[in-house]
Structure 1
């Protein structure tokens, strides 16, 4: 009888199960040969992988949302301008519970140019003070006689080399660039111009913007929050930004690595400054007014 009661108690207990949460892996698409901007008739090869995975995956390739093929590598032979687009891939494998799919890879944009000149510009934003290198690439690589670099249609550089350097960048160098290449062939002169290539130039440390938050549930109701918004675009890692807050010319406490501070809710003019000591950078925000000021 005791054995029967024990079995009944065990059967009445709730059934607990342990579910292991496995993060969904992400596929990675990469260029194997050539660059993302090529001339028509050239080849480009892409590959797909699932980094860190020990499983065998099959891969699907897509272009602008359309399924192209199943393969690890995608090859565009003698590419045509119509094949320009954003390519991405996805890993697929069969398990005992069905098909498992990775997240889609980030897209790689392939441009197939049917013209005679391509200006290869940095794909990532450039920083103020840096040197930018561009390449005026011409179909069949003739011996160039002259290369002209334009920014927003205005000539800024003229030389014989296809490698073009713009030094000491400023925010005014942000814009669209193109190049004109000239060469002599068979007693005649040929001149071609590329399509525009966008170039982004950003400040290493942007101008701060002070936000005044009169009410915040995390601070006492008699106080308000000052938030100093700024963006650091440096190539270096682990740089520290120091924040200073001011009211009517008086500094509110010492420097801090925190971008916000709670202060008494008082009328006045407020602003913040930010510094990056390692880079010797210092920026100040425009003043922000809170309440009615005494005249």
Structure 2
């Protein structure tokens, strides 16, 4: 019996295939080869799987668990799916590519690599942020060891080598955002049909926690009129008896010395 992954997904089977880059990178030069593999969790079905590959909305004429993009062209740039979360492949017709994360976190290191088409005897590589030189060195691997908010910007790299004369190539810009490890919380007070029937309120402390894994847990504290409600919890919400007053929450990561308060909210 043959099952289509897409058919099972449509019928609410909890399969979530993922695409893995087996060979190559997410940013590649024209002419490179990229091999993608479709992975999905174990299932109770003892069947032969028939895979469907897509680049965006376009179905591709490939039906194996691996998709090989030979001699890749710029027109093949896109998000590749096998009926799951996509992996994005960007094909660059230039001579240099800067591999950089889309996001960094304040206080943590950030790595970037300047890759050059072919094997060139590189003797100098320069990293720029918004057109301003950040680092200059002889190898292509850059380390920003303690990221700050000032490191937010557009990055490019210039690589140079000597072959009779000096040759220099520049990468396309890559946008990098810098995030706070713990953002300021927002307290949301929820009174819906369920809480009204119980004469209660639900307090939710909403924030972004951006510390790279493995990250210590966040503890949440809830307050009414500056008096703490109950004990700290690893859940970002609590239920309380319906009351009028001023509410706020605090998020704390003691191991990292991080804590942030929300603005007070009245009910």
TM-score, normalised to structure 2, is: 0.81
Does 2:40 align with 1:35? no
User: Counterpart in 2 of 1:189?
Assistant: 166
Helix, strand or coil at the partner of 2:122? coil
Out of 142, 145, 154, the residue aligned to residue 120 of structure 2 is 142
Whether the 8 Å contact between 1:214 and 1:265 is mirrored in structure 2 is no
1: CA distance between counterparts of 2:95 and 2:109? 26
Whether the 8 Å contact between 1:273 and 1:284 is mirrored in structure 2 is yes
CA positional deviation for 1:261: 4.5
Instruction: Give the direction of change, closer, same or farther, for the CA distance of 1:255–1:183 in structure 2 (3 Å limit).
Output: same
User: Counterpart in 2 of 1:92?
Assistant: none
Instruction: Give the direction of change, closer, same or farther, for the CA distance of 1:254–1:68 in structure 2 (3 Å limit).
Output: closer
Deviations 1:60-99 (A, max 9, x none): 322222122133232222111111111222xxxxxxxxxx
Whether the 8 Å contact between 1:151 and 1:176 is mirrored in structure 2 is yes
User: Counterpart in 2 of 1:64?
Assistant: 56
1: CA distance between counterparts of 2:193 and 2:151? 41
Instruction: Give the direction of change, closer, same or farther, for the CA distance of 1:80–1:27 in structure 2 (3 Å limit).
Output: same
Deviations 1:223-278 (A, max 9, x none): 6544322232333458443222334544344433342352563344x422111233
Whether the 8 Å contact between 1:247 and 1:271 is mirrored in structure 2 is yes
Does 2:198 align with 1:199? no
Does 2:110 align with 1:132? yes
User: Counterpart in 1 of 2:75?
Assistant: 82
The within-5 A match list for 1:119-268 is 119-122=98-101, 125-186=103-164, 188-213=165-190, 217-219=194-196, 224-236=201-213, 239-258=216-235, 259-262=237-240, 265-268=243-246
Whether the 8 Å contact between 2:200 and 2:239 is mirrored in structure 1 is no
CA positional deviation for 1:120: 0.6
CA positional deviation for 1:157: 1.5
Figure out how many residues of one structure are paired with residues of the other and give that number.
Answer: 253
RMSD (Å) for aligned C-alpha atoms: 2.8
TM-score, normalised to structure 1, is: 0.74
